[in-house]
């Protein structure tokens, strides 16, 4: 099986964000409009457009043939959250996707013509974000805390972000998201889960990929 294609886009460089929300469907339109801050709305729309064009490029089809098809393990299809996907000409597009936005960037991952059971999760994190007071207690397992205490002080914040990216990538792969308690999920050594190292990320960002 092919390894996932990864693409990193700057959200402000995604073209056509004002005119293109319509083809992304009514649920996405409503979600965009529910976001209070214009900058959050712009980032959401740009992330969705970037994913739409990424999917069309991987499938080598005109984007107009793709309609978003999000599936939440709890709520099912027909809404606008959960695992991203598309319908191609009305049927399921042969594509497994994941996406993550952070600090003005979007990281996209996809596998075309994947085996039906393949699942994929990707997460992009800002190293400044995982450092709030009490993070270790709400987010880390005892083993992960021991790991952090074994490394030099100055590396801890970036390692916290790295662990958090791994957790979110894994939880997107399983589809559970943060409905599962991250403090009970040890991500130091899980098969199929790794840091994204094959491409350079902007300073202050880390990323992880889960495939299984
Ligand atoms: C999945 C989750 C961890 C992502 O967190 P985040 O750091 O805020 O956001 P990111 O930018 O990294 O990722 C967002 C993307 O993850 C994907 N995603 C969301 N939920 C997902 C799930 N359950 N499984 C797989 N992928 C998911 C979507 O592509 C989403 O993009 P969108 O904002 O355009 O819809 C978080 O949203 C979560 O835990 N969600 C589950 C809880 C939930 O949605 N409850 C309400 C409905 S039951």
Pocket of ligand 1 (CB under 6 A): 47-48, 72, 74-75, 81-84, 99-101, 123, 168, 171-172, 175, 177-179
Determine which residue's CA is closest to atom 19 belonging to ligand 1.
82
pLDDT, mean over the chain: 92
Determine which residue's CA is closest to atom 48 belonging to ligand 1.
74
Q: 29-41 pLDDT, tens per residue?
A: 889 999 999 999 9
Show the tokens assigned to 77.
């299809």
CB 128 within 8 A of CB 204: yes
Number of neighbouring beta carbons within 10 Å of residue 149: 10
CATH tag for 119-212 (out of 3.30.420.40, 1.10.1200.10, 3.40.50.720, 3.90.470.20): 3.90.470.20
Closest ligand 1 atom to Cα of 31 = 35
Closest ligand 1 atom to Cα of 72 = 23
Domain residue spans of the chain: 1-117, 119-212
Tell me the DSSP string of 46-59.
HHHHHHHHHHHHHH
Distance between Cα 152 and ligand 1 center (Å): 32
Predicted local confidence at residue 76, as pLDDT: 75
CB 160 within 8 A of CB 141: no
Mean pLDDT (whole number) for 124-130: 88
How is the chain split among helix, strand and coil, in percent rounded to 5?
40, 25, 35
Number of neighbouring beta carbons within 10 Å of residue 124: 25
54 beta partners: none
Domain spanning 1-117: CATH 3.20.20.70: no
Evaluate whether 1-117 and 119-212 have a shared fold: yes
Predicted local confidence at residue 29, as pLDDT: 87
Residue 191 DSSP class: T
Q: Is the pLDDT of residue 205 over 80?
A: yes
**Distance (Å, whole) CA 195 – CA 206:** 8
Distance between Cα 151 and ligand 1 center (Å): 30
Mean pLDDT (whole number) for 60-74: 92
Best CA proximity match to 84, nearest among 32, 33, 49, 43? 49
Distance between Cα 142 and ligand 1 center (Å): 25
Determine which residue's CA is closest to atom 6 belonging to ligand 1.
100
CB 58 within 8 A of CB 110: yes
Cα-based torsion angle of the residue sequence 198, 199, 203, 208 in order, rounded to the nearest 10 degrees: -50
Q: 185-200 pLDDT, tens per residue?
A: 999 999 999 999 987 8
Determine which residue's CA is closest to atom 13 belonging to ligand 1.
100
Q: Identify which has the larger pLDDT, 206 or 79.
A: 206
Closest ligand 1 atom to Cα of 75 = 48
CB 120 within 8 A of CB 97: yes
Q: Of the ranges 4-13, 128-137, 138-147, which one carries the lowest mean pLDDT score?
A: 128-137
- In what helix (H) or strand (E) does residue 93 lie, and over which residues does it extend? none
Task: Name residue, tokens 């529910």.
Answer: 34
Give the C-alpha distances (Å, rounded to integers) separating 197 from 6, 57, 82.
Answer: 11, 23, 26
């Amino acid at each position: 099986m092919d390894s996932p294609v990864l693409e990193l886009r700057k959200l402000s460089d995604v073209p056509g964000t004002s005119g293109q929300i319509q083809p992304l469907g009514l649920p996405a339109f409503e979600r965009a409009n529910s976001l209070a801050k214009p900058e959050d709305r712009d980032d959401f729309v740009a992330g969705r457009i970037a994913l739409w064009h990424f999917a069309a490029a991987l499938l080598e089809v005109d984007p107009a043939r793709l309609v978003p098809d999000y599936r939440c393990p709890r709520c099912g299809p027909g809404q606008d959250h959960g695992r991203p996907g598309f319908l191609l000409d009305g049927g399921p597009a042969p594509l497994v996707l994941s996406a993550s936005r952070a600090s003005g960037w979007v990281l996209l991952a996809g596998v075309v013509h994947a085996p039906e059971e393949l699942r994929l999760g990707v997460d992009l994190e800002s190293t400044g974000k995982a450092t709030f007071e009490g993070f270790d207690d709400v987010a880390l397992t005892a083993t992960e805390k021991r790991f952090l205490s074994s490394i030099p002080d100055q590396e801890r914040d970036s390692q916290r972000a790295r662990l958090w990216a791994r957790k979110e990538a894994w939880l997107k792969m399983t589809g559970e998201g943060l409905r599962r308690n991250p403090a009970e999920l040890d991500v130091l050594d899980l098969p199929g889960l790794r840091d994204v190292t094959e491409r350079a990320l902007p300073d202050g960002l880390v990323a992880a990929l889960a495939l299984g």
